[in-house]
Chains A and B, each alone.
Chain A
């Protein structure tokens, strides 16, 4: 039988970037790409998400920005042995916790190159009071019938944050309004001097 137990571990910097990106654009949906690698340990797969690249905050359903960004990302990270391992999305409405069709479509595209791809949806309601350890994200993975299912409620895939104090650090950044300095690919295309890698964000 061998049910594949996939563990997903997201680095603190990727997690914080993701949330800050959503907080910067409060009235629109935002999305981005997750970068990392797959580590095989006998039957258990560990997907290590080491970075998050914020993509767009407007007209998310249009292809050109996504395609240009994916080509750039691939070129940037392939030399470091990293690849695209997932996609994150945050809905524009506070009470919307459904994975929309656009998100599923982009997830499907990523699954073609990385079948264990993670689709992370930001849980807007948990932003009000951050819980102690768990990340405020819903993990969705694709099962064998190519449907996106939420993990964690039944047995199966699990998402953890690498550094357990991530939510504390995140709260600190939220209070200092750090989201002002985050740059996504949309911002880069509007002004190419802005760095979509956000290399100086945490310095």
Chain B
């Protein structure tokens, strides 16, 4: 066998897999599967059989890392020579191969003809991000948002990049824009509260409390993260109250806020315990101990 022909034995699974594929799978396997998938019709089979057959065929069609993509693009280019959409596919194939420089060149060329193409502008951000050039990604995204300021996904993406660089203030600005555009989306309120909590400082923490509360309001009390957020904040508040007492900074009017705060915390704690006892009863004792710890 391999030893007889002077080849070393195969010791790695992926090598074996490749050899087996070469030997036993016909070269037109992928194309045949693709054709079958495209021509799949229900005819006289039941719905369930049709769906099962569909999933089987689509799992057999592997379009990752094959020559089929290149051939498809060649055909498209022939038929639609000046098309931006085909150009985008070309760029994306280059991205998938990791040829970042060529991908950038393709996109720059396409932008000369259609400078306001949103998809291409965003692909440029993706290329910068994939290369690890975060400052370029931020610059491109900011320029994009100057024109397309209603693009919520772009604001969220920019905020995520800022968070990964620990630029929390800038990320918070993005979320302020998002809350302005979509004030009833609870996710924005929640992430904004998380950002303010991470930034820290008395004012930010007090605003964070308000946004956790608005998240709870918008989600009908069902958001676990917001409930935990309230508990965390109020355990922090307790610590700051003690140190403030030492510094004689307590004013008389604060007492009402303290009562509201501790009421809010016990409400949040009760809501969490109720939810855990229903959906995660094995974690309930851990939760109760944890909440007790947070109240110090």
Interface residues of A (CB under 8 A from B): 29, 58-65, 67-68, 71-72, 74-76, 93, 95-96, 100-102, 105, 129, 171, 175, 189-190, 192-193, 195
A-B contacts, 25 of them at CB < 8 A, read: A29-B164, A59-B191, A60-B163, A61-B198, A62-B191, A62-B194, A62-B197, A62-B198, A63-B197, A63-B198, A64-B197, A64-B228, A64-B232, A67-B232, A71-B293, A95-B132, A105-B166, A129-B14, A189-B224, A189-B225, A190-B224, A192-B279, A192-B283, A195-B280, A195-B282
Interface residues of B (CB under 8 A from A): 12-14, 130, 132, 160, 163-166, 168, 191, 194-195, 197-198, 224-225, 228-229, 232, 275-276, 279-280, 282-283, 286, 289-290, 293-294
Give bound CA distance, A102 to B132, whole Å. Answer: 16
Give bound CA distance, A101 to B162, whole Å. Answer: 13
**Contact status A75-B228, CB under 8 Å:** no
Q: How far is the CB of B65 from chain A (nearest CB, A)?
A: 14
Q: For residue A96, which residues in chain B have a CB less than 8 angstroms away from its CB?
A: 132
**Contact status A129-B12, CB under 8 Å:** yes
**Contact status B290-A59, CB under 8 Å:** no
Residue on A with the closest CB to B15?
A129
Give bound CA distance, A89 to B293, whole Å. Answer: 28
Q: For residue B228, which residues in chain A have a CB less than 8 angstroms away from its CB?
A: 64, 68, 189
**Contact status A75-B194, CB under 8 Å:** no
Q: How far is the CB of B188 from chain A (nearest CB, A)?
A: 13
Given contacts A75-B286, A76-B286, A129-B12, are A193 and B164 in contact (CB under 8 A)?
no
**Contact status A192-B163, CB under 8 Å:** no
